[in-house]
Structure 1
Amino acid sequence: MAANRKLLAAAAACAAAVIGVTGCGGDSGDKDPFEGMSADKIAKKASNASKNAGSFTMKSEVKEDGDQTTAAFSIAKGGDCKATVDSGKTGHSELLYVNKASYVKADEKFWKASAGATIAGRVKGRWVKSPSSREGGACNLDNMFKSDKLKGLKRVDDADVDGKTAAVLIKKKGKETTTFYVAMDGKPYFLKVTNNGDEKGTATFSDYGKPVDVKAPAADEVVDQKELAGL
């Protein structure tokens, strides 16, 4: 169903607009754990560590053309995930990705905008199920922590992120500046990413490696997209 693809795209875009890619840095003690490393190498190390953690939580906020979109992702080891997306334009949406199937539940505003009034009335309060591929999905770690675009960075003064010391890496492209904060204590995970340009946004990362419980909704709460195809 087009609505499912739109939600995935919106959720992924909310993350991608802030991230572009993602990262965080680390080690313990007073010594700089990244001493002698270029900013690009620090970013690559952070990308690998964040991806290999297997699970994490991300919260993001993006402002564009007068609209604000917030999203919260919890991604489990293995790729299953749950997310919520709130937008002034498209309303409130929830996403579950479990066992290669995606489930979307949203308010009337979302369904009317993406699928029309008839569908909105039919699916009210229910999850719409559709098959989904991990490739290109909003919860795909391979896509979220890509390192091929983490190039041309410059390291600036370290900063504090919620009480944690972070190496700060910036990337400038035209009028746009993206800033990556990499943990310097412990493993080099990305802690925060900000974007300042036509799209302004912030993404924060936490709970790396912690278990995330994602379950498919009960059968009586689900409608298959195939049932809606003829409407």
Structure 2
Amino acid sequence: MAANRKLLAAAAACAAAVIGVTGCSSDSDGAKDPFEGMSADKIAKKAVNASKGAGSFKVSGQGEEDGKKVQIDFAVAKSGDCQGKTGSATTGFGEILVVDKTSYFKGDAQFWKNTGSSAMGDKLKGRWMKSPNGEDSKACDKDEMFNSAKLKGLKREKDAEVDGEKTAVLTKKTGKKQLTYYVALDGEPYFLRIEEKGADPTKMNFGDYGKSVVVKAPPADEVIEQKDLKDLLGG
């Protein structure tokens, strides 16, 4: 199942937040900085708490895996259920549903071929593969996505805008990677964008915090149990 876990890996890795060095800057229009006097680690911690505390959110963007660009679009419900899509013409397109800690995967022929499972693609055409309870169910785990324990060594840069919204900009360099986190300056201090530059660049935009997300399991006649695939594959 390691290949399947890559379905939302870029988004999940991107959504893990980071924190660190002190530093503050003022808004260009002279408005009061809500983070005035706060260290970068405290700003990021507030963003972690607010983003995770919203319960639900959506994230979309583009990442790279082994030099191949993939689009990512998924939503996480307050319950922890989630639904997501990822892929490209090169890698194929795949979907994931997590409902009550049970995971379902679906992909086109190119998606399964790209994960080294062409035979599975033939048998699963138009259907969902159901994983055992608990397996892969952490694909949309908010505690993993917004993990303050990993937030060390950030520096606050000059404020910037994300889609017209003012944000505090926090950065961190790790080897050849540069991580940039954009935290809303107005209203709740949500993460609005997270970028990673390096070997596998990623840009994710977050939004719709607190809005309803409903995820339903696929119809039973469209589902194949993972344990039954062995028989279908002639194993």
Q: Structure 2 residue aligned with 1:10, among 7, 11, 24? A: 7
Please show how residues 174-213 of structure 1 align to structure 2 within 5 Å.
174-213=175-214
Q: Deviations over 1:201-221 (max 9, x none)?
A: 101100000000100111111
> CA contact under 8 A between 1:100 and 1:131: conserved in structure 2?
no
Equivalent residue pairs, number: 222
Q: Report the CA distance shift for 1:113/1:194 in structure 2 as closer, same or farther (over 3 A).
A: closer
Q: Structure 2 residue aligned with 1:21, among 14, 17, 21? A: 17
Please show how residues 93-132 of structure 1 align to structure 2 within 5 Å.
93-114=94-115, 116-132=117-133
Q: Report the CA distance shift for 1:50/1:89 in structure 2 as closer, same or farther (over 3 A).
A: same
> CA contact under 8 A between 1:7 and 1:93: conserved in structure 2?
no
Q: Which amino acid aligns with 1:10?
A: L
Structure 2 residue matching 1:69: 3-state secondary structure: strand
Structure 1 residue 64, shift from structure 2 partner: 4.7
CA distance in structure 2 between the partners assigned to 1:134 and 1:37 by the alignment: 40
With the length of structure 2 as denominator, give the TM-score of the two structures.
0.87
> CA contact under 8 A between 2:195 and 2:203: conserved in structure 1?
yes
Structure 2 residue matching 1:11: 3-state secondary structure: helix
CA distance in structure 2 between the partners assigned to 1:112 and 1:134 by the alignment: 22
Structure 2 residue matching 1:211: 3-state secondary structure: coil
Q: For CA contacts below 8 A with separation 6 or more, give which structure has more relative contact order.
A: 1
Structure 1 residue 118, shift from structure 2 partner: 3.0
CA distance in structure 1 between the partners assigned to 2:45 and 2:112 by the alignment: 39
Structure 2 residue matching 1:131: 3-state secondary structure: coil
Which runs of no fewer than 5 residues in structure 2 stay unpaired? 20-29
The reply on whether 1:156 has 2:157 as its aligned counterpart is yes
Q: Report the CA distance shift for 1:116/1:193 in structure 2 as closer, same or farther (over 3 A).
A: closer
Aligned structure 1 segments of 4 or more residues deviating by more than 4 angstroms: none
Q: Deviations over 1:83-129 (max 9, x none)?
A: 00104553100110001211111001122343534322211001111
CA distance in structure 2 between the partners assigned to 1:46 and 1:120 by the alignment: 40
Structure 2 residue matching 1:119: 3-state secondary structure: helix
Aligned-pair identity in percent equals: 51
With the length of structure 1 as denominator, give the TM-score of the two structures.
0.88
Q: Report the CA distance shift for 1:228/1:200 in structure 2 as closer, same or farther (over 3 A).
A: same
CA distance in structure 1 between the partners assigned to 2:119 and 2:135 by the alignment: 30
The reply on whether 1:221 has 2:218 as its aligned counterpart is no
Please show how residues 25-40 of structure 1 align to structure 2 within 5 Å.
30-40=31-41
CA distance in structure 2 between the partners assigned to 1:65 and 1:116 by the alignment: 18
Q: Which amino acid aligns with 1:74?
A: A
